[in-house]
Structure 1
Amino acid sequence: MTIDTLLDEQRRFPAPAEFTARANVTPELAEALYAAAEADPVAFWEAQADRLDWAEPWHTAHTWRHPATDAGDPGAPVGATWFAGGKLNAAVNCVDRHVDAGLGDRVAFFFEGERGDRRTLTYAELQREVAKAANALTELGVTKGDRVVVYLPVLLETVIVTLAIARLGAIHSLVFGGFSAEALRFRVEDTGAKLLVTTDGQFRRGAAVPVKAAADAAVEGVPSIEHVLVIRRTGDETPGLPWTEGRDVWWHDVVDRQPETHTPEFFDAETPLFVIYTSGTTGKPKGLVHTTGGYLTHAAYSHWAVFDVTPDDVYWCTADLAWVTAHTYELYGPLLNAVTSVIYEGTPNTPHPGRHFEVIERYGVTIYYTAPTLIRSFMSWFPDGVPATFDRSSIRLLGSVGEAINPAAWVWFRDEIGAGRAPIVDTWWQSETGAAVMAPLPGVSTLKPGSSLRALPGLTTRVVDERGDDVARGQGGYLVIDGTWPGMARTVWGNPERYRDSYWTRFAHRGSFFSGDGARLDADGDIWLLGRVDDVINVAGHRLSTIEIESALVAHPDVAEAGVVGVTDATTGEAVAAFVVVSGDVTGRPEVSPEASAAAAALRAHVATTIGPIAKPRDVVFVADLPKTRSGKIMRRLLVDLAERRPLGDTTSLQDESVPERIAELLAR
């Protein structure tokens, strides 16, 4: 399989000399890291594991059984271990050791509530709060190996309880607080959770929204649930709170009275730390299991190298705490490196579109890590640029995550938020990988808008054909990761066969992990993401990337966002359909108005000029918003369903479940 790649982005941005001079990873160190990893990858990762505090050393650095190990039993489970026998505690590594090192007065988190309430938590205060929560969980019967589902918004209590669960050797599974009761119930049942942690309500887009009834519906009749621990957040603004005596417990009743010290246990490196579920855009969500020692090693190393963190930084990852982005680069990575972070409860345009810029100015944020979806939203909210009234001068580094970023959005991000000087670390990774796999090193790399460049030291990515052979430079194919790495998910919870078949069977003869993404290898050997392989469109034998066509559309000055899918065509097999968000009041199909017709013609001509006539959309539909998951990914599967008038699949992971219905109404006019 090859993917036709037609978009040719030529802009280049070398690392600024002043950034390189003080970077964690200099060109000389990068060369040494790559050389050490190539010479002995296991020894390289052992050196990175020394970033952590170990109560006992490991006896076996690495083992790996992949599908090709036993030709006689190709259906056997696959499995890797890293640092087996080594004992550590995740919460001790994130908090206690920094307090012991004299950093107790350093701010761990600045919290900003959607309503404007604020709180600062130092590392010493965080240590005391985690100890109290761990004592409370013990009182509620939580012990090593138990599963605790956390159904909360972005609050300090979310961080505290997550660390307390890890401190006990229990397993946390965070669920986005906007998910439906059905989506939450699936995760509670699948993990066999003993405890659910939730709130009475949440503040969402300026309103107080009740939550507890949905939590109750999710756990009703689930035999494993023993308690529901409830944080008071909205109080009298969400009256009529349902309550089950004997099961439900208030956080302030059970946590606040606990001792402020807790003696930790230490657990084997392969002890499960958390289960995180894929968004479920295709099929039943998979519960990916990440273990303690390897995951923390990968998180600490990559956060230090990619985000160039120092003791003086104020770092902000904008992801909801339930997403893997936040697990690794809002929770564990920053805390392992003793960094000061910002967390924000609300939506980015509440009460106005400049809320994030207010937060950046208030706390002096120096590193800002967000999703292309939000960047494109900023572009539409501020078509003339971000007003100078918002001071962004503290920003020294930017980051992108979630989907491949369009070159036009990349350049806008650098110019408008990075003052035309801040490097952008465009990170590629997945829930399955645990932490960043490909990303620039900001003091070393020459940046290319829209590319994550290549794998970090210690990891190897390749673009291959259907046989697993490397494609030629300039060609597209499947993106794979060679071998194993410490942060990788170990299995799918309760279904090791699904883990093997989803990720390892396709290229078993190579021992490679299949990411599910398509990619292009450029003339320099750098990699450009082309989207999910399932999203590639086959137009008259040409396999076209949705990402490239979307990038061409977003490069048009009138386009804020675009979602591109393949739809059935009697002549070409598939045709390109584009759902486009533009400035102004144009909505619906081209035939609904002369303005829509002219706008569609202009966009078709723009794509034909930018990429080529073969990529020109057959259908253009102007919409007010696109169906996106809470992590910012466009759910293209739903766009196909809408375009072909099929029943919609699962929509529970959407930011706004009303978007598909509104698009359907436009299509029906």
Structure 2
Amino acid sequence: MTERYWIPSNDFIERTRLFKWMQKLGFNDYDSFYRRSIDEPAWFWREVEKELEIPWYQAYSQVIDESRGIEWTKWFVDGKLNAMDLSINKWAKHPTMKEKEALVWEGEDGEGKRYTFKELSGEIQKVAFGLKRLNLKRGDVVAIYMPMLPETVIAMMAVSQIGAIFTPIFSGYGMEAIATRIAASKAKLVITADGFKRKGNSVLMKEELDHALVSCPLVERVVVVGRLGLPRKEEKREYKWEDLYSVDPTLSPEMMQSEDPLMLIYTSGTTGQPKGTVHSHSGFPIKAAFDAGIGMDLRQEDTLFWYTDMGWMMGPFLVYGGLINGATIVLYEGSPDFPKPDRLWTLVSRYQVTHLGISPTLIRTLMKYGEKGLPANELPSLRVIASTGEPWNDDSWLWLFTEVGKKRVPIFNYSGGTEIAGGILGNILLRPITPSTFNAALPGMAAYVYDDAGKPVQNKVGELVLTRPWVGMTNGFWEQPKRYIETYWSRWPSTWVHGDWVIVDESGYFKITGRSDDIINMAGKRMGPSEMETVLASHDLVHEAGVIGVPDVQKGDAAVCFVVLQKKIHETIELEQTLLEYVGSKMGKALKPKKIHFIRELPKTKNGKVMRRMLKNAYLHYPLGDVSAIENKTILNKIAELKE
């Protein structure tokens, strides 16, 4: 096993929410607790909602109903609740918590706002009443194309309060991606902002939306938040955010069935059509709150800051995971390295953040700045750093753990997905943590690694699967039930195939080696691309790398590597040979790459995830499919020009 870098003391373990909860349920060791959590999902998820103190308008008659098959499991049957009520009003009515801070916002320009739970509830009431006056009804869809502003959270909650459905759209998307998602969801109203600040510039969102709406005839109204204070044209279907406000609203939240849709989160597809994952009023909020609260040890009056966008899954996770647990959530509008490379750490210090969420790509970006990318001072408030989005390489993990966390702060590696509503794998805080791995499957997640025959394996690369249902699982794809079944449930009976290629050892530590459709089969030896990427990134001259498999007459697949060098390092034929030999010496001659290309950057999504599919398709001149999530599309043209 890899060296254990973070080891919890007995005192630390005993103070965690997870351990205290386990003891209350009669368990002292994680393995036996985990086993019962997956053997008896009805028992487990009942205990979860009780521990989170979910307020129900009407009690549920049964926790789980699998009568239509595991694929279409229903949760908390007959139960009635509202996601806004269990996130906000629960605390706004509390005698002491109502005056505690619920949300803190900072703009890139330094502007800031703060809201208590009581104040946030009042703002939501006003907007919800205004939405009703715009004839928005239960079951209607509202697209929220917004940056990270307080109004973004208020809009989400107001839509939920009246029983409508919201679909968040990434704030950096262009008109084609925006139009595709609005049209697919059949949204009748869009809430947007005139723009926002990014690296000192103004991003004009409303202009982009106007272009998109040309092909969205179902949209009846647009509400605009004046973040930049830009002058606007008077249009019949347009309203200012302030137009929604009423003087004295008295509006009770809609009593929603547990399985009623709350939101649609669209993920990019390999073809042109994104997938609209459907999440319910009970599912996503409870799963997110459980993973954040019990998993990551987030407590009342802690502060959670996840650097993300509301259009990615981790945006709603931040909102529900933080607020349901009675924590303060921090929203930041701009770039984490502007105007100085340590802006992220300044925010952590200023708002006394206890739980910080980042991506490995963000950390690799800060590493490039050297000492300037580190915190100027110690970060004593910080108790947990969580990471998600992509696999780590050891160098960047160790930099974060050693240089930022000072070997004190555990890194909660976290992997799941939009369709999961949270995590499958994580670093529970009861066990030692090793670089770049996950020390457990999370409670309630019946995770296994299967070989090609559908049998569990250890110490061998295989498919990550789930064999039992969980709260938070998507209720299919919006108006595409067949596609949902084909995507996740078609390989083995009653088995969710997640699409990650994973190794688990005899101690239960998992490592993700890549997406299973990215796997490279070299002369019968299967390799996840992240293994070779980690080796390349460990070389002093390499900043980061992407690896793909290409057809090869002799080996079946051959590895082709795309390397971004450290600054001031110049590419040469000799350097390519040096790196080829370096990989061969580390991984064995049989796994030596066929070719290394030097490029200025890797194709990434706008939240920093390397898109190997785009690397491969561009390099082999395959159709690119949906490129709406790619931030730096021009690099794909450069990759297409490369020669083997």
Once residues 223 and 643 of structure 1 are traced to their aligned partners in structure 2, the CA distance between those partners, rounded to angstroms, is 37
Once residues 527 and 35 of structure 2 are traced to their aligned partners in structure 1, the CA distance between those partners, rounded to angstroms, is 36
2:236 is matched with which residue? 246
Select between 611-620 and 459-468 the one with higher mean Cα deviation.
611-620
**Residues 1:226 and 2:217 are matched in the alignment:** no
2:635 is matched with which residue? 659
Once residues 573 and 291 of structure 1 are traced to their aligned partners in structure 2, the CA distance between those partners, rounded to angstroms, is 44
Letter in 1 for 2:40: D
**Residues 1:478 and 2:470 are matched in the alignment:** no
Once residues 593 and 569 of structure 2 are traced to their aligned partners in structure 1, the CA distance between those partners, rounded to angstroms, is 17
Pick one of 310, 314, 321 that aligns with 1:333: 321
**Residues 1:270 and 2:259 are matched in the alignment:** yes
Pick one of 64, 67, 70 that aligns with 1:62: 64
Q: TM-score, normalised by structure 2?
A: 0.94
Once residues 217 and 369 of structure 1 are traced to their aligned partners in structure 2, the CA distance between those partners, rounded to angstroms, is 33
Once residues 258 and 431 of structure 1 are traced to their aligned partners in structure 2, the CA distance between those partners, rounded to angstroms, is 38
Once residues 11 and 562 of structure 2 are traced to their aligned partners in structure 1, the CA distance between those partners, rounded to angstroms, is 42
1:44 is matched with which residue? 44
Once residues 653 and 258 of structure 1 are traced to their aligned partners in structure 2, the CA distance between those partners, rounded to angstroms, is 40
Pick one of 582, 586, 591 that aligns with 2:565: 582
Pick one of 139, 146, 150 that aligns with 1:156: 150
The 3 A distance-change label for structure 1 pair 528 and 315 is same
Once residues 446 and 439 of structure 2 are traced to their aligned partners in structure 1, the CA distance between those partners, rounded to angstroms, is 12
Deviation string for 1:151-187 (max 9, x for gaps)?
1111111111011111111111000011111111111
The 3 A distance-change label for structure 1 pair 529 and 275 is same
Does structure 2 retain, via aligned residues, the 8 Å contact 1:14–1:447? Answer: yes
Deviation string for 1:108-166 (max 9, x for gaps)?
12211111111111111111111111011111111111100011111111111011111
Select between 167-176 and 633-642 the one with higher mean Cα deviation.
633-642
Shift of 1:261: 4.5
**Residues 1:389 and 2:376 are matched in the alignment:** yes
Once residues 445 and 267 of structure 1 are traced to their aligned partners in structure 2, the CA distance between those partners, rounded to angstroms, is 39
Pick one of 528, 551, 566 that aligns with 1:545: 528
Shift of 1:204: 2.2
Q: Secondary structure at the match of 1:342?
A: strand
Task: Kindly report which structure 2 residues correspond to 1:59-458, keeping only aligned pairs within 5 A, or say none.
Answer: 59-65=61-67, 78-102=71-95, 103-220=97-214, 222-236=216-230, 241=232, 243=233, 245-252=235-242, 254-259=243-248, 261-328=250-317, 330-382=318-370, 384=371, 386-387=373-374, 389-442=376-429, 444-458=430-444
Q: Secondary structure at the match of 1:109?
A: strand
Letter in 2 for 1:635: M
Q: Secondary structure at the match of 1:373?
A: helix
Once residues 434 and 504 of structure 1 are traced to their aligned partners in structure 2, the CA distance between those partners, rounded to angstroms, is 17
Letter in 2 for 1:548: E
Task: Kindly report which structure 2 residues correspond to 1:572-651, keeping only aligned pairs within 5 A, or say none.
Answer: 572-586=555-569, 595-646=571-622, 648-651=624-627
Q: Kindly report the root-mean-square deviation, in angstroms, between the aligned alpha carbons of the 2 structures.
A: 2.2
Does structure 2 retain, via aligned residues, the 8 Å contact 1:586–1:596? Answer: no
Once residues 573 and 250 of structure 2 are traced to their aligned partners in structure 1, the CA distance between those partners, rounded to angstroms, is 67
Does structure 2 retain, via aligned residues, the 8 Å contact 1:530–1:546? Answer: yes
Once residues 421 and 643 of structure 2 are traced to their aligned partners in structure 1, the CA distance between those partners, rounded to angstroms, is 42
Q: Secondary structure at the match of 2:484?
A: helix
Once residues 557 and 6 of structure 2 are traced to their aligned partners in structure 1, the CA distance between those partners, rounded to angstroms, is 37
Does structure 1 retain, via aligned residues, the 8 Å contact 2:80–2:256? Answer: yes
Once residues 153 and 367 of structure 1 are traced to their aligned partners in structure 2, the CA distance between those partners, rounded to angstroms, is 21
Once residues 568 and 124 of structure 2 are traced to their aligned partners in structure 1, the CA distance between those partners, rounded to angstroms, is 50
Q: Secondary structure at the match of 1:491?
A: coil
**Residues 1:563 and 2:546 are matched in the alignment:** yes
Q: Secondary structure at the match of 1:101?
A: coil
- Aligned-residue sequence identity (percent) comes to 33
Letter in 2 for 1:405: W
**Residues 1:14 and 2:7 are matched in the alignment:** yes
Shift of 1:306: 1.7
Letter in 1 for 2:485: R
Shift of 1:576: 1.1
The 3 A distance-change label for structure 1 pair 623 and 612 is same
Letter in 1 for 2:542: V
Where structure 2 has 5 or more consecutive residues not aligned to the other structure, the ranges are 24-28
Shift of 1:207: 0.7
Once residues 668 and 476 of structure 1 are traced to their aligned partners in structure 2, the CA distance between those partners, rounded to angstroms, is 31
Q: Secondary structure at the match of 2:440?
A: coil
Deviation string for 1:257-294 (max 9, x for gaps)?
44354322211100001111112345521101011113
Shift of 1:385: 7.5
Shift of 1:198: 1.0
Letter in 2 for 1:479: L
Q: TM-score, normalised by structure 1?
A: 0.90
1:515 is matched with which residue? 498
The 3 A distance-change label for structure 1 pair 380 and 614 is farther
Select between 527-536 and 29-38 the one with higher mean Cα deviation.
29-38
Once residues 200 and 640 of structure 2 are traced to their aligned partners in structure 1, the CA distance between those partners, rounded to angstroms, is 27
Letter in 2 for 1:99: A
Does structure 2 retain, via aligned residues, the 8 Å contact 1:128–1:261? Answer: no
The 3 A distance-change label for structure 1 pair 557 and 523 is farther
Once residues 382 and 501 of structure 2 are traced to their aligned partners in structure 1, the CA distance between those partners, rounded to angstroms, is 32
2:26 is matched with which residue? none
Q: Secondary structure at the match of 1:543?
A: strand
Does structure 2 retain, via aligned residues, the 8 Å contact 1:270–1:293? Answer: yes
Q: Secondary structure at the match of 2:362?
A: helix
Size of the alignment, in residue pairs? 634
Shift of 1:352: 2.4
